[in-house]
Amino acid sequence: MTSSGTKTTKTTPLLFTPKKIRELTIRNRIIASPMCQYLSNDGGPNDWHMMHLGRLAIGGCGIVFGEETAVEPNGRKTHACAGLYNNNHVAAYRTLTDMIKRHGATPAIQLGHSGRKGSCHGAMEDWRPLDETDAANGLPPWQVMTPTAKISPPRPIPHKEMDQADINQVINDFRTATKLSIDAGYEIAEIHGAHGYLIHQFLSSTSNQRQDSYGGSLENRMRFAIEVASAVRDLWPKQHPVFFRLSAVDSQGGSWTLSEAVALAKALRDVGIDMIDVSSGGIAGKSNMPMVPRIPAYQASFSGRIRRQANVGTIAVGGITEAQQAEDILQSGDSDMIALARELMWNSDWPAHAAYVLGLDDPFSYLPDGYAHRLRQREEQKKMRINQDEALIEKSLRYFMDDEAPSPQ
Ligand SMILES: Cc1cc2nc3c(=O)[nH]c(=O)nc-3n(C[C@H](O)[C@H](O)[C@H](O)COP(=O)(O)O)c2cc1C
């Protein structure tokens, strides 16, 4: 036992071993995963985002991700989604990154484009497509773009099938958003290539049936993803990392396989992507591919396969809730880092609590200094004789409760 009353371990757990990627050192291996809030104003953040991300930063995460942030207004899912496509947004995002850094975490942005999944309501309305009733209430639907329009789930306004000019424009939008993210102070950029959004729509043959150089073979279906990744990587500071979130498999009714994801990870590694964030699902079709079971750590084995076969760093995410479970994933070599989403909404100080559970000498050091000071004092108080000796406790309490009782001193 240490002075703080916790078990000591001879070696620091991997979860709390700082991670250096390029020139960036991250204080531990715990990532606050991107979490859409559907509460932005015209793409920009507000008080809510300060509080939401602030909880995660002061709770001890190594990296704090903002939610998926669209690279152009029509690339948002809803009117209330985050976006970074003009200079007016930069100052507001900078207040977030400054705050996250002040609390010892690394600020990260996830850049994305929703493609055919745009023009809808948020999660609480199960992403119901916007229609003319919504237009009457000030939330007009917009035309969404996708690789192959005729096989897309319908929207009230017919889809636009992307031509070469659209593809070039979206890649340019990623470039602009990348530059604005740098100005806003982000130190990690992640490209959202998962969950059935635009990049994933190109990757999966369930959503991509193009006849041109962006469809057909795996190499062709990966082309858009690689072009976006190269564009972002070329602009992002050399000393800072770029991540890519992919769906390792399509899940129910889809067609994208783990072997294809391994091939994509290799190609991304070759254009300088530093870390693959391994998720799954988002594109449904009519195949007999089953749903990915939602067991604890349900995507960690996909991460392990990609890490070993593509020889690239990975992040495990999905159903990770326990400190020892996270440590075991890292120790097994299934990933380099661990991301959590829902557990952090429930318990935003999870990293500090995990440090306690794993026996770090000073788990409170993951919380702000003022909190840590008081919590260390509480641990010390537990060990004082007056708080441990049953007879003394009883005599003391009797002294306070009964005017006639003698002092125990
Ligand atoms: C509220 C919420 C919003 C999410 N938004 C995003 C998002 O913006 N981008 C993304 O890639 N994943 C998003 N996800 C998925 C999470 O990042 C994470 O991969 C998933 O929830 C599995 O991790 P968990 O079991 O720790 O929650 C979201 C999840 C939640 C719960």
Integer angstrom CA distances of residue 367 from 31, 47, 59, 355, 370: 16, 21, 6, 11, 8
Q: How far is the CA of 120 from the centre of ligand 1 (A)?
A: 18
pLDDT digits (tens, 9 = 90+) for 98-131: 999 999 999 999 999 999 999 999 999 999 999 9
pLDDT at 10: 60
Q: Is the pLDDT of residue 22 over 60?
A: yes
Supply the pLDDT for residue 189.
99
Q: Is 303 touching ligand 1 by the criterion CB < 6 Å?
A: no
Residue bearing the CA closest to ligand 1, atom 21: 341
What's the rounded mean pLDDT across residues 342-357? 98
Alpha-carbon separation of residue 111 from 141, 162, 163, 213 (angstroms): 22, 19, 22, 24
Q: Give yes or no for residue 216 CB within 6 A of ligand 1.
A: no
Q: Which two tokens stand for residue 388?
A: 């441990």
Q: What's the CA gap between 3 and 23, in Å, rounded?
A: 35
> Which atom, in ligand 1's list, is nearest to the CA of 192?
11
Which residue from 339, 334, 384, 1 is spatially nearest to 190, judged by alpha carbons? 339
Res. 8: pLDDT tops 50: no
- Cβ of 182 less than 6 Å from ligand 1: no
User: Which atom of ligand 1 is closest in space to residue 320's alpha carbon?
Assistant: 26
The residue among 53, 61, 52 whose CA lies nearest residue 97 is 53
Q: Which residues contact 164 (CB under 8 A, 6 or more apart)?
A: 212
Q: Determine whether 399 is an active site residue.
A: no
Catalytically annotated residue among 85, 197, 214, 356: 197
CA of 328 to the centre of ligand 1 (A): 22
Atom of ligand 1 nearest to the CA of 110: 9
Q: How far is the CA of 25 from the centre of ligand 1 (A)?
A: 24
In the chain, the amino acid numbered 165 is A
**Is 90 exceeded by the pLDDT of residue 136?**
yes
CA separation for the pair 103, 210 (Å, rounded) = 47
Q: Is 245 in the pocket of ligand 1 (CB under 6 A)?
A: yes
Taking the centre of ligand 1 as the mean of its atom positions, its distance from the CA of residue 33, in whole angstroms, is 6
State yes or no: pLDDT of 39 exceeds 60: yes
pLDDT of res. 70: 98
**Distance (Å, whole) CA 143 – CA 141:** 7
pLDDT class of 44 with cuts at 50, 70, 90: very high
- Which amino acid residue places its CA nearest to atom 1 of ligand 1? 35
Q: Return the pLDDT at 121.
A: 97
Ligand 1 pocket member 317 (CB < 6 A): yes
Region 232-260: mean pLDDT is: 97
- Cβ-in-10-Å burial (0-12, 13-18, 19+) of 309 comes to middle
Note whether 279 and 341 are within 8 A (CB). Answer: no
Tell me, using a 6 A CB cutoff, whether residue 328 lines ligand 1: no
Using the atom order of ligand 1, give the atom closest to the CA of residue 340.
26
Provide φ and ψ at 21, rounded to 5°: -125, 120
Angstrom distance (rounded) from CA 33 to CA 21: 18
Regarding the beta carbon of 341 and ligand 1, being less than 6 Å apart is answered yes
Question: Of 30, 33, 244, which is best to mutate to test ligand 1, by the most ligand atoms within 8 angstroms of its C-beta?
Answer: 33
Q: For residue 398, report the distance from its CA to the centre of ligand 1, in Å.
A: 54
Q: Ligand 1 centroid to 271 CA: how many Å?
A: 26
Could you tell me the domains of the chain? 14-362 (3.20.20.70), 368-409 (no CATH)
Mean pLDDT estimate for the chain:
95
Rounded-to-integer distance, Cα 278 and Cα 374, Å: 38
Which pLDDT tens digit goes with each residue over 69-95? 999 999 999 999 999 999 999 999 999
Q: Which residues of 316-331 are buried (b: 16+ CB within 10 A; e: fewer)?
A: bbbbbeebeebbebbe
CA-based nearest residue to 277, from 137, 131, 111, 148: 111
Å from CA of 318 to ligand 1 middle: 8
Could you tell me if 299 and 280 are in contact, meaning their C-beta atoms sit under 8 angstroms apart?
Answer: yes
- The protein residue with its alpha carbon nearest to ligand 1, atom 18, reads 341
Nearest Cα to Cα of residue 250 among 219, 220, 221, 210? 221
The whole-number pLDDT of residue 2 equals 33
**Per-residue pLDDT at 409:** 78
